[in-house]
Amino acid sequence: MSTQVPSFEQAINISLLWCEAWEKGELSDEVLADRVGSLLVTHNGARGFLAVSLSSDCPLIDRLPEPLIVQMRVAGYILVDLIVKNLAMSTAMAIHHQRQSNKIQQSGSERVTSRCIEILRSLEPNSVKERLEGLLKATNGLGDDINFLNKWNYDKEQRQAIAQIIHSVAENH
């Protein structure tokens, strides 16, 4: 896989297989981490892995093996950026689902938010802090991330919730 850059869909499919094999005990933490590390070096690979690990029933992120944390730290900014964006999106979507009285979807979004927080607490603190500060500025209408928030049409309540979750990550980081 290191010679070929996976598409987003390929990364999702391979991540599903790897998570399943890991959960069944067919892959050790170290082998899984090495394989995931090969995905985390590309944007689509990292996106695909996160799409699976953050939102599926696979308990990988809930247990977060040390070898995987090492690979996530090595991935650096690509991963920090994607996780911060997933944090914002899942936080905003939890509010959307709450408004729609969809408790199941709300719970799923809240689980993604919790998983994002756990990963962020394991990554390089200065990178996480810098990236969260950028997003926090956007919740106040400033900085580069304003385009990200506008793209998804997050309203005032959603932006306030994003700011609040950023503060909770910072307080416990």
pLDDT value for 172: 66
Please give the model's pTM, rounded to 2 decimal places.
0.93
- Total length of the chain: 173
Q: Pick the closest to residue 45 from 1, 97, 95, 76 (CA basis).
A: 1
User: Would you list the domain boundaries of the chain?
Assistant: 8-74, 76-171
Average pLDDT over every residue of 76-97: 97
Alpha-carbon span 12 to 170, nearest angstrom: 30
Q: Tell me: the pLDDT tens digits for 121-138? A: 999 999 999 999 999 999
Q: Does the pLDDT of residue 173 top 70, yes or no?
A: no
Q: Tell me: the pLDDT tens digits for 13-47? A: 999 999 999 999 999 999 999 999 999 999 999 99
Return mean pLDDT, the chain: 95
